[in-house]
Chain A
């Protein structure tokens, strides 16, 4: 028989850790409420016919956040065969609150008290025998992290599932029970027997979603209203609070005698850390320093070293294993260059002295120089007493015929002589293709199209892996939730909640999980606003664009990368203020309430796993979508209708140029109205790193000049921006800003559509982002151009109009909730 077991429990009680242990899968375990926002399914490791569903963490079955809705809908509608309720043993009272609700669903429940290792360490005593008897369901002790007791827990759950039927044993006080029994009577023919109690309690609480689903007839509804209001007057409390209180009273009675808490010191380690990192004065500086370190290391220092290695080594000429031999090689190259200088100077001097050097130069350039000619030349030169001077960095060196003879003998250093030299991919593949006599168009496709495009993207994998590793660490150690708390103070000023910050921080890795993480935000308004603004933050895939622009146009200036993040943050702040003042988002953000998990050191495996998973999906993307896109770009950029009909043409006559030229005019006010840049903007929609891949193909060196380093692409790119925008740096920066802020990649647009759950809202979000990006790019380009002296009057007028419009939106009086209501009621 196939059995489905649902894992349910409070946020951070260890559901995903248990899920991984039970199914042998590799889900990332974070340490902030809301890591799992969607249900995940797997099969039990030791019994493949048992399905395990990991639900998002919830505090109760009342639908306050979206995650609670997801979990509750699953439990009620799909009715798993059993619920394995994970309970944090170090926080029994609060965790059992959910257990009392789960027990009412009529689904067999097994309680697994997790984190027993920590509980035992602190000296707490839990009597599971008594607990099991009082709760009316099996209770087992486990430690999901250490893997103890998990098999027993699964076995118990399977046993309970096979036994079926389950009735909760707990009861509330007499008056409440009376009211519930009465409601149960009224619901009899509406719901299944085993779910009767749950529905009755929900009806008593006045749960809107349940009431809608039941669609009771008016007389029953009236009756229920009467019962509820009677109870409310009796308890002098509202219906939902009555039940909540009853549950806590019941839990207290269950725990009496079954749970003994050890005496702890007044402050735990987590409390002490919190005192510092959430301190009034220190909180923000600490956060700023942490973020600076993360990005400095992953983008500027280690990241750049790794990326250089990948770009120039693996996807360039080649590289030395462990770097051994590089220094020696470079020294030898220097020496060789100096020798070359000497021979050239000497030859020039000999020519001046009237010696015919034509034959000599010819033989020196051939593979095997004729020593006879050289000797003859030397004799002649010695007779004429030829002497030359070379000047290297101020050292004047006199070259006589002996020195010349030596210099001529100097051999060009070979890479392989100085260490373990590993040739780059293009070199290996190029040599191979030459060997098998590959057709020219095919080797062009492979070398220029595939390796040029995909290689340009894959080169950034090391940088991204380092960033992903830091993010995984921040997520897993427990600091994430604190960041939300710290940022709440600031974000509130722009109309966002501190919880909006978590999606944005996750979004620096990838926008898709960032957008998904917005589910933890309770208020629908705040959530929509967060979804719209999250992708303004540069994600991992935008890093290559930043690196390319900063390297090609700014000489790798240190401030370009941080400024990209700064632009993202400013865009979020401006959007927050502007949107909040519209009728769509009016009203204060929901008050901030969030559980802060205890800090713990993340396991190395967990961090590496998360890093690898996110990095791997990036690599996979490079191997699939980006591969196809670059092949397409290569084809479209190399073929078109030339003078001889359709066929291989120069790039400017290609199909892609024709398409690009149609849309290029749009970007003229932004300084990059050129078909290549325009095409890259569009291919960037497939995946942002594709911008770099497309540039890699479009700005590849012309075949005639066969430049060997990637610098050639940079030079071409820079020349192109200089042509379109007057000033390469300004046009390039406008290009960067536009690409950072405009519509995200298709995957992220898909995520926005899923989370918004409305085509209208999705269009609004994408449209807003594009318009915002366009305006930002235009203002930056026009104003900066004017500053350096390239004034364009229409451009400046447009910029000022945009700025005035933006200022109006920023500082106009807000549409208040009351006003909005009036408008609505009038309509």
Chain B
């Protein structure tokens, strides 16, 4: 399911990342890779803040809905 639907505070494993190639690679550089563990810290209107590889990253709704866990 897309990351936007995950409950706050739960750890999830990334299965796949969709979206435009350019942005997908930027996400990969930031640590969003298949198999990585991601945890939602806070959410507001679909925009989320997650923990990934020990750093905190803010991701907008459109992008988060393309990260499948």
Interface residues of chain A, those whose CB is within 8 Å of chain B, are 59-60, 62, 64, 90-94, 97, 238, 240-241, 244-245, 248, 266-267, 270-271, 274-275, 278-280, 283, 481-482, 484-486, 488-489, 492, 498, 522, 588, 590-598
Contact = CB atoms under 8 A, between A and B. Distances in A.
B58 to A, nearest CB: 4
Interface in B26-69: 26-31, 33-34, 36, 41-45, 47, 49, 51-60, 62-63
B29 to A, nearest CB: 4
Contacts of B47: 485, 488-489, 592
Contacts of B9: 266
B60 A591 contact: yes
11 contacts: A59-B30, A93-B54, A94-B31, A240-B21, A240-B28, A244-B28, A278-B58, A482-B58, A489-B44, A591-B59, A593-B63
Interface residues of B, number: 35
A97 B21 contact: no
A485 B41 contact: no
Nearest to B65: A591
A194 B63 CA distance: 38
B23 A594 contact: no
A792 to B, nearest CB: 47
A376 B45 CA distance: 90
Contacts of A481: 58
Interface in B2-35: 9, 19, 21-31, 33-34
Could you say which of B31, B44, B45, B58 has the most chain A C-beta atoms within 10 Å of its C-beta?
B58
Contacts of B59: 591-593
Contacts of A591: 19, 23, 59-60, 62-63
A93 B31 contact: yes
A498 B63 CA distance: 14
Contacts of B51: 271
B49 A522 contact: no
Q: Closest 3 A-B residue pairs measured CB to CB?
A: A592-B60, A280-B44, A591-B63
A245 B34 contact: yes
A283 B54 CA distance: 24
A64 B22 contact: yes
A502 to B, nearest CB: 13
Contacts of A266: 9
Contact of B58 (A64, A92, A267, A596): A596
B54 A90 contact: yes
Contacts of B33: 241, 244-245, 248
Nearest to B58: A485
A280 B45 contact: yes
A595 B55 contact: yes
Contacts of A248: 33, 36
Grouping DSSP codes into helix (H, G, I), strand (E, B) and loop, the B interface class, with mixed when no group exceeds half, is mixed
Contacts of B27: 593
Given A591-B60, A598-B56, A64 B44 contact: no
A272 to B, nearest CB: 10
Contacts of B28: 240-241, 244
Contacts of B25: 62, 64, 240-241, 244
A510 B59 CA distance: 29
A278 B29 contact: no
A590 B44 CA distance: 19
Given A485-B47, A488-B47, A592-B60, A274 B29 contact: no
Nearest to B27: A593
B42 A97 contact: no
B3 to A, nearest CB: 12
Contacts of A91: 53-55
B43 to A, nearest CB: 7
B49 A596 contact: yes
B41 A592 contact: no
Contact of A594 (B53, B54, B57): B57
Contact of B56 (A484, A492, A588, A596): A596
Given A59-B30, A248-B33, A278 B44 contact: yes
B45 A489 contact: yes
Contacts of B55: 91, 94, 595
Nearest to A238: B21
A86 to B, nearest CB: 15
Contacts of B53: 91, 93-94
A10 to B, nearest CB: 9
Contacts of B62: 588, 591
Given A274-B41, A274-B49, A94 B58 contact: no
A93 B59 CA distance: 20
Nearest to B62: A591
Contacts of A592: 47, 58-60, 63
A595 B57 contact: yes
Contacts of A270: 56
Contacts of A93: 31, 53-54
Given A593-B58, A595-B55, A596-B57, 14 more contacts: A92-B54, A240-B28, A241-B24, A241-B28, A266-B9, A280-B45, A488-B58, A498-B60, A590-B23, A592-B58, A593-B23, A593-B30, A593-B57, A597-B56
B29 A59 contact: yes
A699 B43 CA distance: 56
Contacts of A283: 44
A270 B57 CA distance: 12
A93 to B, nearest CB: 5
B44 A594 contact: no
Nearest to A484: B58
A321 to B, nearest CB: 49
Nearest to A595: B57
A725 B29 CA distance: 59
A488 B60 contact: yes
A278 B31 contact: no
A94 B63 CA distance: 20
Nearest to A598: B56
Nearest to A592: B60
A240 B47 CA distance: 27
A596 B42 CA distance: 12
Nearest to A88: B55
Nearest to A68: B29
